[in-house]
């Protein structure tokens, strides 16, 4: 198991060899255990984007986000190895996903979330019977508590960024999207994915390798962790401003995701808060999908930049675990798009 | 064209011969012009219903409801016959749908809606360039104005209930759902559809004929038009109470839909307002779909009655054209389901 606990040591990532073939194997492992979520089209969004958008609706996924994919792959393996329980830090969705996977294997689970995590996400984790602790708002604070819990309980860590099985699982969302678009007789010129700790963008790079599909990362202007890492040539901790995209608040990109994304990602778009709100509202009013702000960040980047990349652009709508109160307040605001 | 204007004379409906074969032909006519909307599954709703629900997400359809199906079929034919323009009465979604179809054929279009129609539906109709008049709240009041406009402008009526092409189009939503579930290796024991003027339930009866799938109608307790018609043995005008399900406010079932549904519908469930609100909230919080109250009426009936009908039950989520303010107020209420 410790093969996968590579987050603590930067050098270990060099030993990780995962590629497109592993993504295909991951898809087979997950078949029948996650929903094959639909790819949704919408005339009004196409008109706003100036190109055809293909929305991968992982907000409709089990647990309300694409993260159940990686969680199942990782926890399956831990369970097979005789794990006594799991612990993970998360902004919310990874914890919901690991909690569901742990419940499937009847493993105890404890999660460390930031103190500003949405109440609804915490409620969803606790609904599985798992424990939740909250601490600070910085990634490093959560990682320290996870380490302590791991040692105290003898639990296994399921890191949301540094675990190759997690990244492979997240890659299957983009792989499935690419295949679904091909089944409709088209081919994606680009795919836009949100960037938090980096598992989605790293997964997209794995899934799109060799396909000719460009991978565009989208991150809040307030927390430009990938932009900063690409500039520095290595993951760096950024000074995070406030963003409504709670899932994209990690202030540092993971080492494994960075290694995978760095040579493969086509570009990174930073998105203003107002554009995130506009996209969230557009998804609600035009597509009739409830998405969370992280997913809206990818949609916002697609609305503003997709047309530069070609005629068919995919968007990973990563999740739908949003506070009703946030939807209400966003719907009440002036909208520059609609 | 007047072959299809059978609403005014009860006896003419006897001449209409449509069946399952026509539904298949209608599906071919619509291929590539409407979205093949996804069928969505949700663990939490299955737990609430006590059976497996298959949600046909026509809220994601063009125009925000399944009604674009019938509108395209009807307006195509009128356009081929040299129509000068179209007029229709509607609670909203049929008008949005006919307006989109008329715009495709560059035909002028005028619609008559009740004075309590949602502002958003009126806005969507006007966005196509069509005209909207509002009058009273009773079906008979709208029909009278349509008749007047038809004579004054020489426009063709596209009746939402009495036009066989409309009913055939609506039938394709259920036919597609049945086929999509079969493609997933299952078979529907029953399908639950909302009942307003009756085109959805009549269409479902056509689509399900010979399949062994039971057809369950769901109507608001406040406007039990199909329940009353089945009791009387003919369409009767009911005294309509208030319902949030604006799409299900017609106070009389159409003659053609009644003829088609009467011998084929398995049962009709009347749904209380509180249950409609609960279902709308459950769709938002658990499925992450924005649905309108008409669709929530079908979902509510499925949550309470699906388990009686077998292991696999389809639900026609008919549309998603809901006022943001209604969602906001429903989300703020106490929920008996979640």
Q: Which residues of chain A make contact with B284, given a CB cutoff of 8 A?
A: 290, 324
Give the residue carrying structure tokens 């831990």. Answer: A78
**How far, CA to CA in Å, does A313 sit from each of A46, A297, A302?**
10, 15, 8
Nearest CB to B288; choose among A43, A320, A332:
A320
pLDDT (tens digit, 9 = 90+) per residue, A169-216? 999 999 999 999 999 999 999 999 999 999 999 999 999 999 999 999
Task: Work out the average pLDDT over B88-113.
Answer: 97
Residue B290: which of A64, A289, A332 has the nearest Cβ? A289
Nearest CB to A288: which of B64, B285, B331? B64
For B214, left (φ over 0), alpha (ψ -120 to 50), or beta? beta
pLDDT confidence of B17, banded at 50, 70, 90?
A: confident
Q: Do A331 and B331 touch (CB under 8 A)?
A: no
The whole-number pLDDT of residue B335 equals 58
In chain A, the domains with their CATH numbers are 17-66+164-332 (3.40.50.1100), 67-157 (3.40.50.1100)
Residues B284-304 pLDDT 10s: 999 999 999 999 999 999 999
Identify the H or E element spanning A216.
Answer: strand A214-220
Q: How do A312-317 and B39-40 pair as beta strands?
A: unpaired
Q: Which of B65, B170, B81, B84 is nearest to B125 (CA)?
A: B65
pLDDT for the residue numbered A15: 60
B333 against B155, higher pLDDT: B155
CA distance B62 to chain A (A): 7
CB atoms A43 and B60 under 8 Å: no
CA–CA separation, B193 and B296 (whole Å) = 10
Q: Is A5 left (phi over 0), alpha (psi -120 to 50) or beta?
A: beta
Please name the residue of chain B whose CA is at the shortest distance from the CA of residue A320.
B288
User: In angstroms, what separates the C-alpha of A178 from chain B's closest C-alpha?
Assistant: 17
Nearest to A290 among B62, B288, B324 (CB): B288
Chain A positions in Cβ-Cβ contact with residue B59 (cut-off 8 Å)? 288
CB spacing of B284 vs A290 below 8 angstroms: yes
Q: Which A-chain residues 262-301 have CB contacts (< 8 A) with chain B?
A: 284-285, 287-291
Nearest CA in chain B to A331: B324
Cα separation of A133 and A115, whole Å?
9
Q: What are phi and psi of A124, to 5 degrees?
A: -65, -35
Going residue by residue through chain A (338 aa), what tens digit of pLDDT does each one get?
A: 233 333 333 334 446 789 999 999 999 999 999 999 999 999 999 999 999 999 999 999 999 999 999 999 999 999 999 999 999 999 999 999 999 999 999 999 999 999 999 999 999 999 999 999 999 999 999 999 999 999 999 999 999 999 999 999 999 999 999 999 999 999 999 999 999 999 999 999 999 999 999 999 999 999 999 999 999 999 999 999 999 999 999 999 999 999 999 999 999 999 999 999 999 999 999 999 999 999 999 999 999 999 999 999 999 999 999 999 999 999 988 655 54
Taking the CA of residue A1 and the nearest CA in chain B, the distance in Å comes to 30
Measured between CA atoms, how close is B8 to chain A, in angstroms? 36
Side by side, the strands of the sheet bearing B131-134 are B131-134, B109-113, B86-89, B156-157
Enumerate the residues of chain B whose CB falls inside 8 A of the CB of residue A62: 43
- How many beta-carbon pairs under 8 angstroms link A with B? 61
Average pLDDT score over residue span B257-268: 97
State the complex-level ipTM.
0.92
- Contact between B111 and B95 (Cβ < 8 Å): yes
Nearest to B289 among A37, A288, A328 (CB): A288
Q: Is the pLDDT of residue B54 over 90?
A: yes
Q: What are phi and psi of A219, to 5 degrees?
A: -135, 155
Of A60, A287, A291, the CB nearest to B287: A60
How far apart (Å, rounded) are the C-alpha atoms in residues B45 and B58? 18
Give kind and range of the element (H or E) at residue B193. Answer: strand B190-194
CA Rg value for chain B: 18
Please indicate whether, in this complex, the C-beta atoms of A288 and B40 are within 8 angstroms of each other: no
Report the gap between the CA of B135 and the closest CA in chain A (Å).
26
pLDDT exceeds 90 at position B4: no
Q: Is B121 on the interface with A (CB under 8 A)?
A: no
Region B143-170 average pLDDT: 96
What pLDDT shows up at residue B2? 31
Beta bridge partners of A268: A217
Q: Would you tell me which residues 33-92 of chain A have a C-beta closer than 8 angstroms to some C-beta of chain B?
A: 35, 37-38, 40-43, 57, 59-60, 62, 64
Considering only alpha carbons, which residue of chain A is nearest residue B324?
A331
The confidence score (pLDDT) of residue A334 equals 64
C-alpha B278: how far from chain center: 20
Give the mutation candidate from B288, B323, B338 for the A interface (greatest A CB count, under 10 A). Answer: B288
- Contact yes or no for B288 and A35 at CB 8 A: no
Tokens of B246: 């604006």
The dihedrals phi and psi of B199, each to the nearest 5 degrees, come to -65, -35
CB contact under 8 A, A62 and B43: yes
């Amino acid at each position: 198991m410790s093969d996968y606990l590579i987050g603590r040591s930067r050098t270990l990532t060099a030993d990780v060899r995962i590629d497109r073939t592993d993504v295909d194997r991951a898809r087979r492992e997950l078949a029948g255990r996650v929903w094959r979520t639909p790819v949704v089209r919408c005339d009004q969004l196409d008109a706003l984007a100036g190109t055809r958008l293909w929305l991968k609706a992982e907000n409709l996924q089990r647990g309300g986000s694409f993260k159940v994919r990686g969680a199942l792959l990782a926890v399956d393996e831990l369970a097979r190895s005789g794990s006594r329980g799991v612990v993970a830090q998360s902004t919310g969705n990874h914890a919901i996903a690991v909690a569901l996977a742990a419940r499937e294997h009847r493993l105890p689970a404890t999660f460390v979330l930031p103190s500003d995590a949405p109440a609804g996400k915490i409620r969803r984790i606790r609904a599985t019977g798992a424990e939740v602790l909250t601490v600070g708002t910085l990634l490093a604070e959560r990682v320290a508590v996870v380490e302590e819990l791991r040692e105290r309980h003898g639990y296994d860590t399921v890191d949301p960024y540094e675990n190759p099985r997690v990244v492979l699982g997240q890659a299957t969302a983009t792989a499935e999207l690419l295949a679904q678009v091909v089944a409709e007789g088209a081919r994606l010129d680009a795919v836009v994915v949100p960037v938090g700790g980096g598992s989605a963008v790293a997964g997209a790079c794995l899934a799109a390798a060799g396909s000719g599909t460009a991978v565009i990362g989208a991150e809040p202007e307030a927390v430009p962790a990938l932009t900063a890492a690409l500039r520095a040539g290595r993951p760096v901790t950024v000074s995070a401003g406030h963003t409504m995209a709670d899932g994209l608040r990690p202030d540092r990109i993971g080492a494994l995701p960075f290694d995978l994304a760095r040579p493969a990602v086509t570009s990174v778009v930073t998105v203003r808060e107002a554009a995130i709100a506009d996209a969230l509202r557009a998804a609600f009013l035009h597509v009739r999908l409830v998405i969370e702000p992280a997913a809206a960040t990818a949609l916002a980047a697609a609305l503003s930049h997709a047309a530069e990349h070609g005629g068919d652009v995919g968007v990973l709508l990563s999740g739908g675990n949003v506070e009703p109160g946030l939807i209400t307040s966003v719907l009440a605001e002036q909208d520059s798009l609609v």
